[in-house]
Amino acid sequence: MLTVLEAINLSTEFLGKRNIESPRINAELLLAHTLNCKRLDLYLSYDRPLNEDEVNIYREFIRRRSKSEPLQYIIGKVEFYGLEFNVNPSVLIPRQETEILVETIVNSVNKEDNLRILDIGVGSGNITVSLAKHLAFSKIIATDINEQTLATAKANAEMNGVLERINFINHDILTSDLNDEFDIVVSNPPYISQKEFPELKDELKVYEPRNALTDFSNGLSYYKIISFKARKFLKNKGKIFFEVGQGQAEDVREILDENNFKEISIIKDYLKIDRVISGEKA
């Protein structure tokens, strides 16, 4: 019978030949998911034989991964900012660089203030839920145009114990306004240009929701619209926070400046790439 170690070695070789990055880690994580155990537990049970059902399930996972289906969608979950989130193809997979956006907001405010926060394009809820967890006195409105996406975000909010402080709304910032006032507006909008989209890896362009990746234009459309509209519903001295794509920071700085935001600052991510930009309503 196939043992844990043999399964890992065969799968690592198989995924490597199909140009899957970090094939060993992928093989181990998928096997741990198959066996409902921690990855570390695999190292303590290399000689354990897999039964027929386990082999069949694992082979299907490896087949899916070999076709570039994201590991996170196969497993159905991902860790973000110390919390666990369920993910599916209706939502963009939370990424490590977006943690910089959350961290920047959390470190810029008094955590005991009763803040009103607007998250535009909530996706999986990773930003909203993380902020609700770390800013315990805040109330958040989270918007998205997709009902399935909102359902996933609500489930993640409930799973992490913050559902009662978040109001999820089906809303399209492109076509309508919000009649409310906020201390903070945050968004990680679609910022891949239509020109760049075909160059993306299959993991992104084939499997992740396209309307969460690209604005079908030059990648700056949402920054322009959100910055303009945020002037109407941000309080005086209220702040706006964006995640930006590589090479976009100066363009977004100009957009914020054109909309009379002050105290504009840019934060780099772990790879020293400009990743987060913020401004204050004068």
* Beta bridge pairs of residue 241: 186, 278
- Provide the pLDDT confidence category of residue 81 given band limits of 50, 70 and 90: very high
Question: 208-233: per-residue pLDDT in tens?
Answer: 999 999 999 999 999 999 999 999 99
pLDDT over 90 (residue 1): no
- Whether the per-residue pLDDT at 202 is higher than 90: the answer is yes
Domain assignment present for 180? yes
- Whether residue 243 sits in one domain with residue 133: yes
Specify whether 136 is located in the same domain as 198.
yes
Average pLDDT over residues 245-266: 97
- How does 122-142 read in b/e, with b if 16+ C-beta sit within 10 Å? bbbbbbbbbbbbbbeebbbbb
14-60 pLDDT, tens digit per residue, is 999 999 999 999 999 999 999 999 999 999 999 999 999 999 999 99
Q: Are 75 and 33 in contact (CB under 8 A)?
A: yes
Report the relative pairing of strands 83-86 and 77-80 from DSSP bridges.
antiparallel
Are 58 and 103 in a shared domain?
no
The answer on 93 and 63 residing in a single domain is no
Same domain, 63 and 111: no
* 179 lies in the same domain as 53: no
Instruction: Mark whether 52 and 104 lie in a shared domain.
Output: no
121 within a domain of the structure (yes/no): yes
Reading the block at residue 251, the tokens are: 């363009």
Output the CA torsion 31→36→39→41 (10° steps): -110
Q: How far is CA 111 from the centre of its chain?
A: 23
Query: Is 74 within the bounds of a domain?
Result: no
Q: Are residues 224 and 274 in the same domain?
A: yes
Q: Are the CB atoms for 139 and 116 separated by under 8 Å?
A: yes
154 by Cβ neighbours in 10 Å (0-12 / 13-18 / 19+) ranks as middle
pLDDT at 93 over 90: yes
Same domain, 55 and 123: no
Q: Residue 238 belongs to a domain with what CATH number?
A: 3.40.50.150
Residue 81 domain flag:
no
Question: How many domains is the chain built from?
Answer: 2
Q: Are residues 61 and 96 in the same domain?
A: no
Tell me if 45 is assigned to some domain: yes
Is 75 domain-assigned?
no
> Residue 89 has which token pair?
């193809």
**Does residue 170 have a pLDDT over 90?**
yes
Q: What is the mean pLDDT of the chain?
A: 96
The average pLDDT across 245-260 equals 97
Percent over 70 (pLDDT), the chain: 100
State the pTM of this model: 0.94
Q: Dihedral through CA 74, CA 80, CA 83, CA 85, nearest 10?
A: -30
pLDDT tens by residue, 95-144: 999 999 999 999 999 999 999 999 999 999 999 999 999 999 999 999 99
DSSP state of 211: G
Residue 178 lies in a domain: yes
At 177-190, the pLDDT tens digits run 888 999 999 999 99
Task: Please check whether residues 117 and 186 belong to one and the same domain.
Answer: yes
Domain boundary among 37, 67, 97: 67
Which pLDDT score is estimated for 179? 85
How far does CA 101 lie from the centroid of its chain? 11
Distance CA 26, CA 237 (A): 46
Residue 80 lies in a domain: no
The domain of 47 spans 4-67
Same domain, 142 and 111: yes
